[in-house]
Amino acid sequence: MLLSAPGFVPLVTPPAADAGECWWFVFRGNQLLVHHAGPRVEVPCVRHPGRLGLDPLRVQYLGTLHERHCFAAECDEGAEAPEPLRWAGLRSLFGAIDDPTFVLAGRAVQIMDWDRTHRFCGRCGTPTERRDGERARVCPSCGQTHYPRVAPVAMALVRRGRELLLARSPHFPPGMMSALAGFVEPGESIEECLVREVREEVGIEVRNLRYFASQPWPFPHSLMVAFLCDYAGGDIVPQEGEIEAADWFAPERLPVLPHRLSIARRLIEHALAELAQP
Q: What is the mean pLDDT of residues 16-25?
A: 92
Strands (E) across the chain are located at 8-10, 22-28, 31-37, 40-42, 45-46, 58-65, 68-74, 86-89, 129-130, 137-138, 145-146, 151-160, 163-168, 180-183, 205-217, 222-233, 245-249
Q: Does 192 share its domain with 102?
A: no
The pTM (predicted TM-score) of the whole model is: 0.87
Task: For residue 194, name the pLDDT band (cuts at 50, 70, 90).
Answer: very high
pLDDT at 3 over 70: no
Q: Which domain holds residue 171?
A: 151-276
* Number of separate domains in the chain: 2
Q: Does 172 share its domain with 258?
A: yes
Do 131 and 114 contact (CB within 8 A), yes or no?
A: no
Q: Is there a domain that residue 80 lies in?
A: yes
Q: Does 65 share its domain with 13?
A: yes
Task: For residue 2, name the pLDDT band (cuts at 50, 70, 90).
Answer: very low
CATH number, domain of 92, equals: 3.90.79
Give percent of the chain above pLDDT 70: 99
Q: Does 196 share its domain with 270?
A: yes
pLDDT of residue 5: 74
CATH number, domain of 209, equals: 3.90.79.10
Q: Does 113 share its domain with 182?
A: no
Q: Is there a domain that residue 1 lies in?
A: no
Q: What is the mean pLDDT of residues 57-72?
A: 96
pLDDT at 89 over 70: yes
Give residue-wise pLDDT tens across range 47-56: 999 999 999 9
Report how far residue 91's alpha carbon sits from residue 78's, in angstroms, rounded to the nearest whole number: 21
